[in-house]
């Protein structure tokens, strides 16, 4: 009789949080992302949306808190706010398809700049795309 149980438990799945470098990796991703939002010409409409809201500095902190838990690390946003409902977080922001696409483009560029492999980038972008599509709350 062959015992298969020990081999299945030996493989532990690494979280996206750990895969991008833990706290430092998430901080770096958020920093680069919001630098792009503030400075990249294609991101101007997204920058304006943030200025109408709580501002970029606030968004940098809260995106770090959210992404930490979202990617499998410490649930900082939940500890601070009691939930991680992204639709609730963004209800005060008018998000159309164009804003969603700009957000994803900036995140795509930020991921390229942090230097992860293609497989990890695909996993990150798949997760971000799913959430971004769910946040559209206004038609064009």
**Contact (Cβ atoms closer than 8 angstroms) between residue 100 and residue 133:** yes
What phi and psi values does residue 67 have, to the nearest 5 degrees?
-65, -30
Domains observed in the chain: 22-134 (1.10.490.10)
- Residue 6 has what pLDDT? 46
The low-confidence residues of the chain, meaning pLDDT below 50, are 3, 5-8, 10
Alpha-carbon gap, residue 30 to 66, rounded angstroms:
11
* Tens of pLDDT, residues 69-79: 999 999 999 99
Rounded to whole angstroms, what are the CA distances from 127 to 9, 11, 106, 133?
Answer: 26, 23, 15, 10
Rounded to whole angstroms, what are the CA distances from 10 to 5, 6, 13, 45?
Answer: 9, 7, 10, 47
Q: Which residue from 95, 97, 116 is spatially nearest to 50, judged by alpha carbons?
A: 95
* Tens of pLDDT, residues 46-71: 998 888 778 899 999 999 999 999 99
């Amino acid at each position: 009789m062959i015992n298969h149980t020990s081999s299945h438990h030996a493989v532990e799945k690494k979280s996206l949080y750990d895969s991008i470098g833990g706290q430092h990796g998430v901080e770096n991703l958020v920093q680069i992302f919001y630098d792009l939002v503030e400075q990249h010409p294609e991101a101007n409409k997204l920058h304006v949306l943030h200025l109408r809201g709580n501002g970029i500095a606030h968004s940098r902190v809260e995106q770090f808190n959210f992404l930490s838990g979202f990617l499998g690390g410490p649930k900082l946003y939940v500890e601070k706010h009691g939930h991680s409902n992204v639709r609730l977080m963004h209800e005060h922001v008018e998000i159309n398809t164009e804003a969603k696409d700009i957000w994803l483009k900036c995140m795509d560029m930020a991921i390229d700049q942090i230097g992860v492999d293609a497989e990890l980038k695909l996993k990150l972008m798949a997760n971000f795309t799913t959430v971004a599509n769910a946040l559209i709350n206004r038609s064009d």
